[in-house]
Amino acid sequence: MTHPAMSPNNVAVVTGGASGIGLAAAMRFARLGMKVCIADLGGDRLAEAETKLSSVAPRGAADIMARAVDVSRIEDVEALEAAVRKQFGGADVLMNNAGIQPGSQMFGPIQNWQRILGVNLWGVIHGSQVFAPRMIERGRPGLIINTGSKQGITTPPGDPAYNVAKAGVKAFTEALQHELRNAKGSRISAHLFIPGFVFTGLTAKGRTEKPAGAWTPEQTVDFMIERVAAGDFYILCPDNDVSRKLDERRILWAAADIVENRPALSRWHPDYAEAFAAFVKEK
């Protein structure tokens, strides 16, 4: 079973759609008989992805479009929405998936922070603000799926700009879903997609073979589609290393830092190492 928005002849728009999870999602949508638009940067990558999608779409290239878009620029996203409306009539599924992870340091270059926040957070905000009103006007069942991260929930040390961006995506998507379910005439729902360890160009770090602990992008997208159909808002993906139970314990511990007034990021604080290990083992 799939969500009604993921039906033949409906329209899916995927940002960051030229590779990784974005391309895997676009391929699944195309195989479902949907019209698909991918938005990304990198001319060759985009052209190759468009060719792949055309090869699996039941009606071929006529139902596929690809556009070079910098999601950190709202004018690019506005032009994308207008192009989708002109060619396909509008969007039924919007997957705000574009993301970068070049690495960051707390006191590193401000330009790095600005670029990460621009793509990973503002890209989601721009996509939602530009597409959602038109999607509501269409009066059809629709989906906005925003790609978050477990790093935006437990905020581990090591990449603060990425964590800040993904924490923002979580808070924004929660507010978006509240807004959509209370908007008159809206048949659109928002969902926070939280992948686990997925082997993509973003996570490969020079490796050419998938680590045993990682899921493929296709596995992750299949899980996403299944949980959207089930009505989940928080689509918390496991992988081959981390079970849902372990994710839940980590998330609960992070929330308890506030409730119990522990030091920030106590999971990585030496004074709490034994307590955290014991907490994880609790049933």
Q: pLDDT of 67-87, one tens digit each?
A: 999 999 999 999 999 999 999
Position 202 pLDDT exceeds 90 = no
Report the percentage of the chain scoring pLDDT > 70: 99
Q: What is the pLDDT of residues 109-121, one digit of tens each?
A: 999 999 999 999 9
Per residue in 72-105, is it b (16+ CB within 10 Å) or e — as a string? bebebbeebbebbeeebebbbbbbbbbbbbeebe
Position 204 pLDDT exceeds 70 = no
Q: Which ranges constitute the DSSP H helices of the chain?
A: 20-31, 43-56, 74-88, 110-120, 122-138, 151-154, 160-182, 201-204, 217-230, 244-259, 273-281
**pLDDT at residue 207 in the model:** 79
Cα–Cα distance for residue pair 141/147, rounded to 1 Å: 20
**pLDDT at residue 201 in the model:** 74
Which domains, from first to last, does the chain contain?
Answer: 11-241 (3.40.50.720), 243-283 (no CATH)
Cα–Cα distance for residue pair 97/221, rounded to 1 Å: 12
Position 147 pLDDT exceeds 90 = yes
- pLDDT average, residue stretch 141-164: 98
Two tokens, residue 146: 């925003």
Q: Which helix (H) or strand (E) holds 93?
A: strand 93-96
- pLDDT average, residue stretch 91-103: 97
- 272 belongs to the catalytic site: no
Mean pLDDT value across the chain:
96
